[in-house]
A and B are shown apart, each in its own frame.
Chain A
Amino acid sequence: MKAGFRDALRVLEDAGELRRVKKAVDPRHLSALAAQAREATFFEAIGGYPGWRVAGALVSTRKRLAHAMGCAEADIARRFEEGIRRPVDPTLVSDGPCQEVVWQGDDVDLTSIPIPLMHVKDGGPYVSATMVVSKDPEYGRNVGSYRLMYRTPRETGIDLVSSSDMRRYYQRALDAGRPLEIAVAVGVHPYEMLAASYKAPIDVDEYAVAGGLHGAPVELVRCKTVDLEVPADAELVLEGELLPIGWTADEGPFGEFSHITGDVKWNPIFRVRCITHRRDPIFYMLQMPWENDWLAAPVIEAAGLQALRIASVEPVAIRAPVGGCCYWTLVASIKKRPGEGKNALLALLSVAEVKLAIVTDDDIDIYDPDDLDWAMTFRVQADHDVLIVPGARGKHIDPSVRAWALGKGGLPTTAKLGIDATIPEGVPREQYERLRYFARDLVRLEDYL
């Protein structure tokens, strides 16, 4: 049987990476408190919400993500690759804990859930840790992750601006003048969240991707009011439909994964017709921006590894640093043959999201910022080793692309930067021989203390 959300909490607690908060906390203060903890947070009592607990910041660091994925920190991309290479189809079960309590009809009330207010400029409280399921008559099931902004006891906004399979499904439903049924699972294992964040090809079932990561099938239950299936072990499920109104309702701003507040967007409305949850539910508050960033890291790093292999470059290590939101920047070390520093840069910059790429030799520890700085200082000549690609596709939320000047519907472009910090061709490797201390292997400091 695969691991669930509560198993992930247990793994973190066993590793000393979970802080329990016993005093009752107001939902308005959850995110601010989680931001002050060095560990993931588990709030055991929520003011005004008896029976509910809240967990957040489960994978806000590379270390915690690695714990959740059961691998070393350096191996998150390879672990993710293994999972997507061996998908495991989900199984359907007759019932599950996510439906222990069912609210339908007039009993549907989103205010019964401790939805937190996270940032000072957010347009409302947000459900941030979502696994959203939809179905298209032609393309089949899709699973993604989309933020929900509380509007009324039965409605939320949903950010469906960016290109995605579900956006396509919604557009097709809209063209047919009908709503799009969706179900939103909250409080699922990080593997399910990774699968939902992964932009899988349209014919790939993200539940099978999650199964591949687990090495066991995800058990699904049929929803109560929509023709969709959700993970049986989820903490909370919202069922309903995206109204056929197009991109007409205000949504946002929200504290984005770029660590910046976004703009108000125009989006559809999600009308909730059924809420199901466990008898003792735990609301999962995905803590922005770090947790969102780290869920992107294995996906971007795996894309970088794949691009390097296609370019016939042998990668040794890869890292999507959190300073680049685990999204815009890739640093890789390679076993270099002549010319491959540049080939590697071209490969990494071909990953759509990547704006800055740095390549080093395999003697550099790319997880050590000082070692990386050293390589960039002594192995880079800016007139030979810096590559700038102008006019590539950019992202609206990067302020440097000046998207506001483009007008509605305008798509921004960006320049991409590559830095080849490998030993330049023609410079003997001996020139980089590191200092070694005389007698380092003969004496030990502790013998003299």
Chain B
Amino acid sequence: MSPLAERLAADLRACPRHFAELVEAHSAVGWRDFLRAWGEVRGLAALGRDEQGRYVVAAPEG
């Protein structure tokens, strides 16, 4: 994963976020770079949604 994708995944591991909250937290990143990194995050099996529609990455078990 790219460093930006790692950071996005870490953000979602820390707490659930709406997509726009992630965008806001990384607003200095160019849109195209952000979307490429998001594409990597989408590939994570641990990526899910909470009941409010926010994205979340489940912490590894154990």
Closest CB in chain A relative to B61 CB, distance in Å: 22
A47 to B30, CA, bound (A): 9
Beta-carbon contact of A123 and B19 below 8 Å = yes
**Number of residues of chain B lying within 8 A (CB) of chain A:** 18
A215 at the interface (CB under 8 A from B): no
Interface residues of A in 97-115 (CB under 8 A from B): 110-112, 114-115
Q: Knowing A48-B30, A117-B19, A122-B20, say if A250 contacts B49 (CB, 8 Å).
A: yes
Say yes or no: B42 contacts A152, CB within 8 Å.
yes
The answer on a CB contact under 8 Å between A123 and B42 is no
The residue of chain A having its C-beta at the shortest distance from the C-beta of B21 within the complex is A120
Complex interface bits, B24-52 against A, C-beta within 8 A gives 1, otherwise 0: 00010011100110110011000011000
Given the known inter-chain contacts A117-B20, A121-B20, A151-B42, please indicate yes or no for A111 contacting B49, CB distance below 8 A.
no
> Are B53 and A253 in touch, CB under 8 angstroms?
yes
A112 near B20 with CB under 8 A, answer: no
Which partner residue on chain A sits nearest B54 by CB separation?
A121
B8 to chain A, nearest CB (A): 12
Chain A residues touching B, range? 20 to 34
Q: Which residues of A contact B49 (CB under 8 A)?
A: 250, 264
Q: Report how far A110 CA is from B23 CA in the complex, Å.
A: 18
Residues of A within 8 A of B32 (CB): 48-49, 111-112
Q: Which of A249-288 contact B (CB under 8 A)?
A: 250, 252-253, 263-264
**B18 interface residue, CB < 8 Å from A?**
yes
- The answer to whether A122 and B19 touch (CB under 8 A), given A152-B42, A152-B43, is yes
Q: How far, in whole Å, are A440 and B35 apart by their CA atoms in the complex? A: 66
Cβ B39 vs Cβ A151 within 8 A: yes
Chain B contacts of A120 at CB under 8 A? 18, 20
Interface of A (DSSP majority class): loop
CA distance A119 to B21 in the complex (A): 11
Known contacts being A111-B35, A252-B53, is A121 close to B18, with CB within 8 Å? yes
**A144 interface hit (Cβ, 8 Å):** no
Interface residues of A in 131-158 (CB under 8 A from B): 150-153, 155
Interface string of A371-385 (1 = CB under 8 A from B): 000000000000000
Given A48-B30, A48-B31, A121-B42 contact (CB < 8 Å):
no
Q: Known A28-B31, A48-B31, A264-B53; judge A124-B36 contact (CB<8 A).
A: no
Contact of A124 among B19, B31, B43, B48 (CB under 8 A): B19
Cβ of A187 to closest chain B Cβ, rounded Å: 20
Q: Kindly state the separation between the CA atoms of A49 and B33 in the bound complex, as whole angstroms.
A: 12
- The answer to whether the Cβ of A26 comes within 8 Å of any Cβ in the partner chain is yes
- Give the complex CA separation of A114 and B31 in angstroms: 8
Instruction: Chain A residues near B39: list those with CB within 8 A.
Output: 111, 151-153
Residue of B with least CB distance to A151: B42
Question: In whole angstroms, how far apart are the Cα atoms of A256 and B11 in the complex?
Answer: 27
A125 to B36, CA, bound (A): 12
Q: A27 interface residue, CB < 8 Å from B? A: yes
Q: Footprint of A on B, CB under 8 Å? A: 18-20, 23, 27, 30-32, 35-36, 38-39, 42-43, 48-49, 53, 55
Question: Beyond the given A123-B55, A124-B19, A250-B48, could you list 11 further A-B residue pairs with CB under 8 A, ordered by the A residue number?
Answer: A48-B32, A49-B32, A111-B32, A111-B35, A112-B32, A117-B20, A121-B53, A122-B19, A125-B35, A150-B38, A151-B42
Q: Which A residues are closer than 8 A to B by beta carbons?
A: 26-28, 47-49, 110-112, 114-115, 117, 119-125, 150-153, 155, 250, 252-253, 263-264
Interchain Cβ contacts under 8 Å between A and B, 26 examples: A27-B31, A28-B31, A47-B31, A48-B30, A48-B31, A48-B32, A49-B32, A110-B35, A111-B32, A111-B36, A112-B32, A115-B35, A117-B19, A117-B23, A120-B18, A120-B20, A122-B18, A123-B19, A150-B35, A150-B38, A152-B39, A152-B43, A153-B36, A250-B49, A253-B53, A264-B53
